[in-house]
Amino acid sequence: MRPERMRTIQLLCKKEDSSRVIEILADLKAVHLTDHQRQTVGKAIIDIGTPRESAERLSSALIATRNLLAKTESVKGEKPDDGIDQTLDDRIIRTMVLAEMYSTHEQELAAAEKSLQRLDLQLDLLDMLAPLESPVEAIFAAKSVQTIVVRDAKPGKRAFDIKSAPHVILLENHRRSAAMLVVQKQDAQKTKDLLLGNSYELVDISPLRDVRKTPKEATARIHAERAAMQREHQRIVMDIANFNQQRNFLLESEPIFAFELLKAQAPLHFGATKHVTLVGGFIPEKRAAELERRIKDAAITALVETSPARQAPVALDNPRYTKDFEWLLRLYSLPRYDELDPTRLLALTFPVFFGFMLGDIGYGLCALAVFMLLKAKMPKTRQLMNIFIISAVSTIIFGFVYGEFFGVSSILGAQLPMLIHRAEVESIRFMFTVALCIGLFHINLGLLLGAVDKMKDGLYFVIIEKGCWLLVEIGLLTLADSIHLLEKITLFSFGGSMFNGFLLLGIGGAGLWHTEKETGVLKVRGIIEIPMMASNMLSYIRLVAIGLASVYLAFIINQQAGLLFAKGGLALALGVVILVLGHALNLALGLLGPFLHSLRLHYVEFFTKFYEGGGVAYRPFGAMEES
């Protein structure tokens, strides 16, 4: 029940051999590298190594590949296999060429779009000036005068109406109107200010500077130009779309580049002097021999030293059928290397709690179907789906214990077998008793695991500390009994008195004070957690509460639907709708609630008794992780 055993490993080899060593390590996919820190030994400085020369090229190629993959669109049926075998060099060259070509196309597209915009603007202005009979170049020809064009769109109250100005040319079109003034250059700015002050909108006609002939003639020509540019734009768009064909090649190249880059940059993790390379890290115990053999087989002279690790990265080691529950553990935190791995216990108790709460055959079957379907559709969530599937099976089992099927206790007249009828008022105290017993069992299991873990601190301390918690538990129960709390909630009472209760708490507290490692004020650290223990014990009542909530909800849904069924006709259809929607909602709540609360019971009540977490994940060199 511990993470996989690791050994620390130190490897010294000649600098010339380092590439071959890197190849072996990358192929082995077993060594978790620790980064070498620059250190000075006497007069020698052992610095980190330099990456191989290919690293830069590979890096550019990888970035280019990812860039192209991001910009192109997925094609149906694409796969990471181009079908052509290529050397790494050829692959890199082809990728860079593709990137270059794509970039050129992108620039051409931008230029084409800019041209189209300019032509559209010219067409718009020419449309405004259409009634003009003189050629456009005349507007810009004269040096001493300036032409001002004004958009006359808004009829509003103006102190000055442009139509009354001298030498105004009115350009009226069936769609819009504009006015044109020609003024001396020195008066141009004053005129513009006057017009702006009277809320006239000035139009910038400088885009028409290189247009020839009258507006009408020029329009026709520019239309033709625009059509040609539009065709050009289309062509560029299609050329870019053709890049989607390259995706198979790109998809194949990306992991290859990433892997080669990893190897090329590996020296950054190593220590290096002029002649020697120093590799440090961790390797699983069962693969250490393999590494030594491979180094020897490759005829590399190297010094390999391994020793059992005391702190190491953590690779969880669990049998196949509990492995899925590692997902729940990862959600919290990986165990430290020297800690216990509670995954197997989690795999036992989590489904039990879940089933205990939901406990319905119908909901269990639905959940089973839903999650098997989801697992097929989304293979990436496999672990979580498996957890739910196991929990669903547990639900079905508890459904038989409670005799519940979608909230009813008999199907088509046949009475379901049941051990406990949990919806009855009489059974509630029994259920509370069971829940409290489960709670005590779970908490004490946690304390036991904590004891086993801390054995190395000394048997004496462990027994006193955990023993005191036990006394605290009994003390709290006694207190609860003395105020008649226990007999109200549960089925038993053992005549505890308040005096006994406080006595036990006192002894327990004293023991906790005694075994507390901290000094000074923090010595009360254990004692102030006594209320927490009370809270933890009572927390397990939620096992009953959440279940009952689900049962009563189902009961009400069935009752309402039944009333509607009795009426017949349209009410029948409504009844069916209520039945289906209601149970769907109850199922959703019933999956979410028990899952979260079961998990919370583990994280807060169970883990806090023995688990610390904070382990570093084991990342072997050469194994590419799924991003």
Partner 1 sequence: MDIGTGLIGIAAAIAVAGSAIGAAIAEKEIGAAAVGAMAEKEELFGKGLLLTVIPETLVIFGLVIAIIILGLAK
The angle formed by the CA atoms of residues 45, 51 and 52, to the nearest 5 degrees, is: 125
Residue range at the interface with partner 1 (CB under 8 A); choices 148-156, 493-501, 527-535, 568-576: 527-535
Any contact of residue 461 with partner 1 (CB under 8 A)?
Answer: no
237 or 532: CB nearest partner 1: 532
Helix segments in 266-418, DSSP class H: 288-297, 326-332, 343-358, 361-377, 382-402
Residue 433 touching partner 1 (CB under 8 A):
no
* Single residue of 491, 604, 623, 624 touching partner 1 by CB under 8 A: 604
Which of 331, 581 has the CB closer to partner 1?
Answer: 331
Q: Where are the alpha helices (DSSP H) in 266-316?
A: 288-297
Q: How far is the CB of 552 from partner 1 (least distance, A)?
A: 19
Dihedral sign computed on CA atoms, order 3, 6, 8, 9: negative
Smallest distance from partner 1 to CB 6, Å: 21
Is 333 near partner 1 (CB under 8 A)? yes
Nearer to partner 1, 46 or 485 (CB): 485
| Burial class of residue 549, CB neighbours in 10 A (0-12, 13-18, 19+) | middle
Contact 527, 508 (CB under 8 A): no
Q: Which is nearer to partner 1, 50 or 497 (CB)?
A: 497
Q: How far is the CB of 333 from partner 1 (least distance, A)?
A: 5
Decide: is 619 part of the binding site for partner 1 (CB under 8 A): no
d(CA 419, CA 362): 17
Closest separation in Å from C-beta 534 to partner 1: 6
The span from the CA of 242 to the CA of 75, in Å, is 11
Of the candidate residues 243, 259, 327, 332, the single one contacting partner 1 (CB under 8 A)? 332
Q: Report how far Cα 81 is from the mean position of its chain's Cα atoms.
A: 28
Q: Does 531 bind partner 1 (CB under 8 A)?
A: yes
Q: What string marks each residue from 475 to 514 as x (binds partner 1 by CB under 8 A) or -?
A: -----x--xxx--xx-------------------------
Classify residue 79 by its DSSP letter.
Answer: -
Collapsing DSSP to helix, strand or coil, 291 comes out as helix
CB of 350 to partner 1, least distance (A): 16
CA gyration radius, the chain: 40
* Both tokens assigned to 420: 């406990």
Smallest distance from partner 1 to CB 600, Å:
7
Tokens (6 digits) for 6: 């690791």
What's the N-to-C CA distance of the chain in angstroms? 29
427 binds partner 1 (CB under 8 A): no
- Decide: is 265 part of the binding site for partner 1 (CB under 8 A): no
- At position 359, the amino acid (one-letter code) is G
Question: Phi/psi at 252 (nearest 5 deg)?
Answer: -70, -40
CB-nearer residue toward partner 1: 140 or 502:
502
Determine the Cα–Cα distance for residues 452 and 462; give it in Å rounded to an integer: 8
- Pick 253 or 343: Cβ nearer partner 1: 343
Run of H or E including 14:
strand 6-14
In the complex, what is the shortest distance from the CB of residue 512 to partner 1, in angstroms, rounded to a whole number?
17
- Contact segment (CB under 8 A) with partner 1 among 15-23, 101-109, 327-335, 437-445 equals 327-335
- Closest listed residue to residue 621, CA positions, set 255, 282, 251: 282
Give the per-residue contact string, 172-211, with partner 1 (x = CB under 8 A; - = no): ----------------------------------------
Span near partner 1 by CB under 8 A; candidates 372-380, 457-465, 544-552, 596-604: 596-604
Near partner 1 by CB under 8 A: residue from 498, 614, 619, 623: 614
Quick one: 539 or 550, whose CB is closer to partner 1?
A: 539
Of residues 421 and 488, the one with the C-beta less far from partner 1: 488
Check if the beta carbon of residue 5 is closer than 8 Å to that of residue 285: yes
Q: Is residue 277 within 8 Å of 267, Cβ to Cβ?
A: yes
- Which are the contacts of 475, defined by CB distance < 8 A and separation ≥ 6? 500, 501, 502, 503, 504, 505, 507, 508
What count of other Cβ atoms lies within 10 Å of the Cβ of residue 617? 12
- Options 221-229, 454-462, 529-537, 575-583: segment touching partner 1 (CB under 8 A): 529-537
Q: Where are the beta strands (DSSP E) in 409-513?
A: 410-411, 414-415
Least Å from the CB of residue 531 to partner 1: 5
Tokens coding 190: 């004053």
Q: Which of 538, 545, 553, 571 binds partner 1 (CB under 8 A)?
A: 538
Number of chain positions touching partner 1 (CB under 8 A): 22
Indicate whether 228 belongs to the interface with partner 1 (CB under 8 A).
Answer: no
Nearest to partner 1 of 513, 603 (CB atom): 603
Q: Is residue 401 close enough to count as binding partner 1 by CB under 8 A?
A: no
Q: How far is the CB of 3 from partner 1 (least distance, A)?
A: 16
Residue closer to partner 1 (CB basis): 439 or 622: 439
In the list 69, 93, 372, 534, the residue contacting partner 1 (rule: CB under 8 A) is 534
CA gap 90, 201 in Å, rounded:
61
Among 220, 289, 532, 573, binds partner 1 (CB under 8 A): 532
Question: Residue 272: enclosing H or E segment and its boundaries?
Answer: strand 271-272
Burial class (CB in 10 A: 0-12, 13-18, 19+), 259: middle
Q: What span, in angstroms and rounded, lies between the C-alpha atoms of 494 and 55? A: 75
What 8-state DSSP symbol labels residue 50?
Answer: P
Residue 334 Cβ vs partner 1, minimum distance, rounded to whole Å: 9
Residue 535 engages partner 1 in binding (rule: CB under 8 A): yes
Minimum CB–partner distance for residue 482 and partner 1 (Å): 11
Contact residues toward partner 1 (CB under 8 A) are 331-333, 480, 483-485, 488-489, 531-532, 534-535, 538-539, 600, 603-604, 607-608, 613-614
